Amino acid sequence: MKYIILFYLSITISLVSSSNASEYQIWLKESETPEICEVKQDYAFNKYFTKRDNRDLWLFGFKANFIKGELWGVKYRSNDTFKKNPTFVSGNMATQINYPENDKSDKIELTNGHTKQLTKDELFTCYNNQITRKKIKFDSFNIFTQNDLFNGLSDNEKIKAYGYLEIPKFKECKSVKKFPVMFLVHHAGGNIISNYKHRLQQRCIATFEPYIFLSRGIFRNYFDNEADIKWITETQGTLDALKAIDVLANDNQIDSSKIGIMGWSYGGIVAIEAQNMFNIDLIKPKNEFALNIAYYSYCYHYENSKTTNAPLRIFIGKADKTPYSICNEWVDQISVNKPQKQIVIYENAFHNFDAEPIRMDSGSIPDPQCRIYIDNNGTEWVRPDDPDMYFNITENGGWYGREGDSIKRARARKLCWEFGSYQAGRDQEAYEDSWKKFNSLIDIHLNPF
């Protein structure tokens, strides 16, 4: 029997996702992986499944892409070997990877010119993962927008949030007495791109994944118009990150002066928000992040344009469905006298440019005029170029209130919540350049030696 990899990385790249998890995803609350494998060559296939018992009707499930040089985790059940029952892990999502020859309900189709199903040894070079992993709990609150944060936390539901700290134990790390740590903040689909995590750990940098969604009982973001908190916002994620940093800084294994934060899409917004003083002044953490990195994110604008002194790097493409101009404008404001605040714009790159190619049939596509602005009173606005069309979200009773000007409200919703289809995925030039810049930032600000 030949063994191939069955893997699905779902990237929900809109600011808010309303889709349900695929029935083929396996969500893992515990995703420690005993083995890490590097892809030797590009490889891709399509997976199909049957609907109920109709064996003649094959429905497309997903396309799996493995890109040369990327690292993936392998998880086993009990004492199984790779060939018996392996599971391939990316962040919190995984799937079993052995494919039975006579399966009547699933089939594969090799793509991109591939003619052969690859074995593990043909596709991967693997090594034993050597980390210690522990659950970190911290106090947080359920909030919605910046206005809720501005009004104080005492009237919000208190919860016990959590995440996982992984300390590398490779032989190269034996001389490290206190480890730098990088926060890895998931996208709206609830997952991280694990390649970064494993590369950081290889360099003796610990990682911490705050489980913003799982702490609230969901795997990925969703929309519920009937709930007080209609979706889990980036402001919520920022609160969790700034609550967690003090807990990590007090860990005797961690170098509190070298704690960074990075994220993708939703998580990238959290990384940016974690250096905005509007949030820090309200949450009042005792510690600050030493480095902030954001991939293909949106940027909120604030009347209070003060930030921490930590370097910020935003990587985004001109072809991204999230307008790069909104972050470019914000960086122009906060980089005055702070040249360490920078944005890198790639001419042809899409959203998700450092991962697999995907196409979304429906997702939010904010307009370049969707400039969400928070004033010093905590009031939220949509401020397009035309001042006559400024829309006061707070005065309207929130995004879904009906207390403001109906024409301005309809325009603001169209600017910020228009849905459509779009492309996303790997741009090799953007990936390689951002990877070099990422490693340079790590060398300077999170070097453990």
- DSSP assignments along 179-230, one per residue: EEEEEEE--TTS---HHHHHHHHHTT-EEEEE-TTGGGT-SS----TTSSS-
Geometric angle at alpha carbon 241, from 289 and 183, rounded to 5°: 60
Residues 227 and 164 in one domain: yes
Residues 120 and 135 in one domain: no
For range 271-299, the mean pLDDT: 98
Cα–Cα distance, 6 to 125 (Å, whole number): 17
201 or 54, greater pLDDT: 201
Residues 424 and 361 in one domain: yes
Tokens of 35: 């083995």
User: Which of 99, 128, 157 is a domain's end point?
Assistant: 128
Asked if the structure places residue 11 within a domain, the reply is no
Q: How confident is the model at residue 55 (pLDDT cuts 50, 70, 90)?
A: low
Asked if residue 271 lies in contact with residue 262, where contact means CB atoms within 8 angstroms, the answer is yes
Whole-number Cα distances in Å, 287 to 257, 260, 424: 8, 11, 35
Is the CA virtual torsion 107, 422, 343, 307 positive or negative?
Answer: negative
Terminal-residue alpha carbon distance, the chain: 46
* Lowest-pLDDT range of 58-62, 276-280, 336-340: 58-62
Residue 315 confidence (pLDDT) above 70: yes
Q: How confident is the model at residue 81 (pLDDT cuts 50, 70, 90)?
A: very low
Asked if the structure places residue 217 within a domain, the reply is yes
At 169 the three-state DSSP class reads coil
User: Which of 73, 105, 128 is a domain's end point?
Assistant: 128
Token match 């903040």: residue? 185
Residues 145 and 230 in one domain: yes
Residues 141 and 99 in one domain: no
Residues 54 and 176 in one domain: no
For range 139-148, the mean pLDDT: 93
Chain segment 13-36, per-residue pLDDT in tens: 333 332 223 334 456 666 678 899
Chain segment 230-247, per-residue pLDDT in tens: 788 999 999 999 999 999
Q: How confident is the model at residue 109 (pLDDT cuts 50, 70, 90)?
A: confident
Asked if the structure places residue 42 within a domain, the reply is yes
Residues 274 and 258 in one domain: yes
Tokens of 204: 């003796």
Token match 């059940």: residue? 77
102 or 194, greater pLDDT: 194
164 or 119, greater pLDDT: 164
Chain segment 203-223, per-residue pLDDT in tens: 999 999 999 999 998 888 877
What's the pLDDT score for residue 4?
Answer: 38
Asked if the structure places residue 3 within a domain, the reply is no
Q: Determine which helix (DSSP H) or strand (DSSP E) holds 110, and give its type and residue range.
A: strand 106-110
Residues 262 and 381 in one domain: yes
Q: Determine which helix (DSSP H) or strand (DSSP E) holds 363, and give its type and residue range.
A: strand 358-364
Q: Is 433 buried (19+), middle (13-18) or exposed (0-12) by CB count in 10 A?
A: middle
Residue 278 confidence (pLDDT) above 70: yes
Indicate the average pLDDT of the chain: 87
Chain segment 390-432, per-residue pLDDT in tens: 999 999 998 888 998 999 999 999 999 899 999 999 999 999 9
What's the pLDDT score for residue 85?
Answer: 59
What's the pLDDT score for residue 80?
Answer: 47
Asked if the structure places residue 9 within a domain, the reply is no
At 242 the three-state DSSP class reads helix
Asked if the structure places residue 170 within a domain, the reply is yes
Asked if the structure places residue 358 within a domain, the reply is yes
Residues 178 and 91 in one domain: no
What range does the domain containing 51 cover? 26-128
Asked if the structure places residue 1 within a domain, the reply is no
Number of residues assigned to the chain: 449
* Report field, pTM of the whole predicted structure over 0.75: yes
Residues 82 and 193 in one domain: no
% pLDDT > 70, the chain: 86
What's the pLDDT score for residue 223?
Answer: 74
Residues 60 and 208 in one domain: no
Bridge partners (DSSP) listed for residue 44: 65
What's the pLDDT score for residue 224?
Answer: 76
Residues 93 and 233 in one domain: no
User: Which of 79, 104, 128 is a domain's end point?
Assistant: 128
Number of domains in the chain: 2
